[in-house]
Amino acid sequence: MEGDSNRTVISFVLIPYKDNFSHWQEEKMKKRTYPVFAVIFSFVLCCTMPACDDAGGDTDGEDKNTGNGENGDSDAGAGSDSDTDTDTDSDTDTDTDTDSDAGMGIATCETLQEGMNSGFMVDGEARSFVLNLPQEVETGGPWAVIFNWHGLGDNATNFSGFVSIFADNEDMPFIGVTPEDTDHVLMAVPLDWDVFKVDENNKEARLFDEVLECLDQKWGVDFDHVHTMGFSLGSVVSDMLGTVRGEMLASIATYSGGYWCNEENLLPLMGTVIKWPVYSTENAYAQLFFHGGETDTFGIMNIGLKFNEYAVNDSAFLKERGHDTIICNHDLGHTVPADMSTDKVLEFFAAHPLGTEVSPWRSSGLPGDYAGYCSFKAGD
């Protein structure tokens, strides 16, 4: 077409796939069926967009997410998932006792309760999340808070099982917050979380702000122990919070995530639809990274997104900025390893409150119950 000689047309097929969460629910996973759908994206790029910028603004008309290799479950019992065709996994069960119909009214700070809280308004949008509370929540406190973000296609009721049974642990009892996604859309495809075009008003970051404020009003928050964790795309949410809310976070744990302001992680195609602010967090929080080795991948347009490489890249990225990190290669693919699940994450969180510039594990070494495939990396 005349006048369009400088445009590049990129088309690709995104095929969602089944993820691997819930190692304790492998049999239920086998009984489920997963809809596979393909959506062909065709968009015109007039120029190459930068991956990150200081303003964290919009990407040239791109409206939301990229579908980067995130799925919604981790299934240590199921072994590695080496399928690199974008899996979606919206049905992974953890058999929690959470009643998904609880709290179906309009949730406010005053009405927050155990279980599902729905209709919680944040910047004009109704949000939902599951709360898991310690038994003494009304009389104890202030309380540590752990945000727990599910993978692509999963849901809050299911994924809350990852933290629910630990809320009353002896070392660090906590309030668990497992948000529900809003089916955030990229070019007509729901990809759960708002983690593609990011700025200070990102909707997941604003949910974090408002929920934390309400928890403090109602029960009291120990601001030395506000943590975030997740799996797959939920881990990317946690990494995003480290980028835009990092001054508030005590420590982070991620299973198969990625910092998308780290240029080492961004393929040319991803850079057209992902735009994060430059990483400027001064709080040198510690981070625990998990990845599943060479089969911890996600495929799109014959490009393999490699979460093992993200973990290595991001450990180095944070190390250069003074953060202590731990990196664990369980080598099981895109899943959560049974021997390094929630209890080990809680041990890490308890030992790394806000302001821990030098991890106590630098001198003592990793705890004896940590897997041998984990290694400590001291920040520069």
pLDDT tens per residue across span 120-174 = 999 999 999 999 999 999 999 999 999 999 999 999 999 999 999 999 999 999 9
- Summary mean pLDDT of the chain: 79
- The pLDDT-based confidence of 87 (bands split at 50, 70, 90) is very low
Which sequence spans correspond to the domains of the chain? 8-377
Q: Would the pLDDT of 219 be above 50?
A: yes
**Would the pLDDT of 218 be above 80?**
yes
Long-range contact list for 39-43, CB < 8 A, 24+ apart? 39/13, 39/14, 39/187, 39/188, 39/189, 40/11, 40/12, 40/13, 41/10, 41/11, 41/12, 41/13, 41/14, 41/187, 41/189, 42/9, 42/10, 42/11, 43/9, 43/10, 43/187
What was the pLDDT predicted at 267? 81
CATH number of the structural domain 8-377:
3.40.50.1820
Task: Let me know: does 95 contact 305? Beta carbons within 8 Å.
Answer: no
Confidence label for 2 from pLDDT (cuts 50, 70 and 90): very low
Q: How confident is the model at residue 190 (pLDDT cuts 50, 70, 90)?
A: confident
pLDDT at 369: 97
Band (pLDDT 50/70/90 cuts) for residue 315 is very high
Q: What is the pLDDT of residues 316-372, one digit of tens each?
A: 999 999 999 999 999 999 999 999 999 999 999 999 999 999 999 999 999 999 999
Q: So what's the pLDDT on residue 303?
A: 54
